[in-house]
Amino acid sequence: MTETILVLNGPNLNLLGSREPDIYGSDTLDDIAARLTERGKELGFVIDLRQSNHEGHLVDWLHESQDRGVKAILLNAGALTHTSVALYDAIKAIDVPVIEVHLSNPLAREDFRHASFVGRAACGTISGFGALSYMLALEAAASL
């Protein structure tokens, strides 16, 4: 049976490729998904990539991951990273390792982006490498 790595994306990440490409790059979420899927196959994993602009969907998917036997979760919560105690609690409530992912480096941006509820609960954070951040997080997840 092939293990699954769940890749969750939060608000506004559906606009990748057109939203502030000077910050987030020109890759779309579909571009990132294709590369993750290809590398996931090479590593022996199925990639299940999802995106929602709604916090509750992300919480539900985190909860479901444990029952599904997901190996690890890559989570780019977008702006919810800095505001969501609900995501923090959901990550703490499950035994599945969560790796926080960001395209940009939040610490090099506005002050309000320096605090991360997700990062406080995650097993690690990879940020600042554009779309490569997802690939680096996948490699980390595979090694867990």
Q: Among 80, 82, 101, which Cα is nearest to 6's?
A: 101
Q: Which residue has the tokens 């923090």?
A: 88
A 10 A CB-CB count for 38 gives 11
Q: Give the whole-angstrom CA distance, residue 65 versus residue 95.
A: 9
Catalytic residues: 24, 102
The two beta strands, 3-9 and 72-76, are parallel
Q: Give the whole-angstrom CA distance, residue 53 versus residue 55.
A: 7
Residue 64's Cα: distance from chain center in Å? 16
DSSP H or E segment with residue 99: strand 98-102
